[in-house]
Amino acid sequence: MSSAMPGDMGGDTPMPPRERAWLAALVACAALAIASAPWALGVPALNFVFKPLATLAIIAHATGRGERDGPPAAVRRWVLAGLWLSLAGDVALLWPKEGFLPGLVSFLLAHLAYLVAFTRRQRFAAWWPAFVAYALVAGLVLARLWPGVPAALQAPVVAYVLCLASMAAQAAVLWHRGEPRGRVLAIGGALFVASDALLATNKFAGPLPLANLWILVTYWSAQWCIASWLAPRASAR
């Protein structure tokens, strides 16, 4: 992520100073959280402190966008709900074994919250090719991971993948239908799928090199994109 990246991913409007500050905070916190890995600094305490702080920086970014009153306010509330649920998932996954199922449930609810937000802008599955594409991706990922998924986790994992794929597909629907900042939203959905595919591969199919680097960079990029889908405030334009 770059501090020069505009909120609409490609427009000419410069990022307001407030958003630039939150992006800088996100990058700093993300770097310190990633550096906690054994292949870097090897200081687990950094992850406990800076992983939640990175997501909080995205929540702060989202809080400064969107409308507080009128019909768009419901969209903003659901996006913020998704971000707070994601934060709960981040905290749960600080304990990878004990917290995996609570984290999975938290992120499943986060994707449902995002899906509600997106369907307030376009009817669910209004562009079916996006859902077909993500169904194929989800099927391929599940087929690759299935032998390593414990029986007790198979149903929650399938439910999670369905919610994740539906969220990402609906984000693509908004892009296809010309939603303002729809491209950044579709990118966010795709990055979320990539991040979770990497996380699941690392957990169920075998360790990946520099796993937390790739998982967390794609994850926080996805969340920033979703938050940036909310309209800028009039005072910040």
In a domain, 104, yes or no: yes
User: What are 65-115's pLDDT values in tens digits?
Assistant: 987 776 689 999 999 999 999 999 999 999 999 999 999 999 999 999 999
Q: Are 197 and 151 in contact (CB under 8 A)?
A: no
Maximal C-alpha separation, the chain: 53
Tokens of 147: 């032998």
In a domain, 206, yes or no: yes
| Amino acid (1-letter code) at residue 191 | L
Whether the Cβ atoms of residue 198 and residue 218 lie closer than 8 Å to each other: yes
- In terms of residue numbers, what domain contains 85? 17-236
Q: 130 in a domain, yes or no?
A: yes
Q: What is the pLDDT of residue 131?
A: 98
pLDDT at 6: 42
- The structure tokens listed for 161 are 């993948």
Tens digit of pLDDT for each residue in 164-191? 999 999 999 999 999 999 999 999 999 9
CA 83 vs CA 31, 78, 87, 115, 193: distances in Å:
20, 9, 6, 12, 16
Q: Is residue 103 part of a domain?
A: yes
pLDDT tens-digit series, residues 119-153:
999 999 999 999 999 999 999 999 999 999 999 99
Is it the case that residue 12 has pLDDT exceeding 70? no
Looking at residue 106, its amino acid is S
Angle at 20 between CA 177 and CA 109, to 5 degrees: 50
Query: Quick check: is 2 in a domain?
Result: no
Number of domains the chain contains: 1
State the pTM of this model. Answer: 0.92
Mean pLDDT of 208-221: 97
Q: Which residue has the higher pLDDT, 18 or 10?
A: 18
Is 8 among the domain residues?
Answer: no
3-class state of residue 232 by DSSP: strand
User: Rounded CA gap, 174 and 178, in Å?
Assistant: 6
**Does 120 fall in a domain?**
yes
7 within domain boundaries: no
